[in-house]
Amino acid sequence: MSKKIPFSVTLEVRDACLCLHVQRAARALAKRFDDALRPTGLTNGQFSLLMSLNRPEPPGMASVARLLAMDRTTLTAALKPLERDGLVRVEVDPADRRSRRLVLTGPGHAALARALPIWRATHATIEADLGGRSADDLRASLAALS
């Protein structure tokens, strides 16, 4: 028979668990950005993915997956609706035919241009909601964990 964990331990984990707090914050932030970006037809994840493709040269799948902290299978699934909607094109890498490059199309650039002012306004509101705490310190702390 296993020993029952006291409820006080549940409260300890609830109050101290960094993973839980980061997950809750991530879900709350994702919802705020999803709500804000809804008029553009993009989710926050799609906005981040499209923005990650906004580079001088089309990136490879591996570098985008690393940046977004996704595995390639998840990235491939996330690309499907963007590709279907003509916002992204997946092309063979001319330097290595086994690899793929992700191209942000004209409509993809236009979608980003529509979404960017909304992202900026939402981001400014969220930073203001930090109540005087430093957003830069928060970013640095999160980067240290990732």
Asked whether residue 1 is domain-assigned, the answer is no
Tokens 């236009």 belong to residue? 110
Asked whether residue 128 is domain-assigned, the answer is yes
- Structure confidence at residue 102 as a pLDDT band (50, 70, 90): very high
Could you tell me the CATH number of the domain that includes residue 56? 1.10.10.10
Q: What is the mean pLDDT of residues 6-29?
A: 96
Nearest-angstrom CA–CA distance, 74 and 56? 24
Reported as a single tens digit per residue, the pLDDT across 51-87 is 999 999 999 999 999 999 999 999 999 999 999 999 9
Asked whether residue 93 is domain-assigned, the answer is yes
What total of structural domains would you count in the chain?
Answer: 1
Asked whether residue 2 is domain-assigned, the answer is no
Full domain range(s) for residue 85:
7-144
| pLDDT at residue 97 greater than cutoff 90 | no
| pLDDT at residue 33 greater than cutoff 70 | yes
Q: Check residue 1 and give its pLDDT.
A: 67
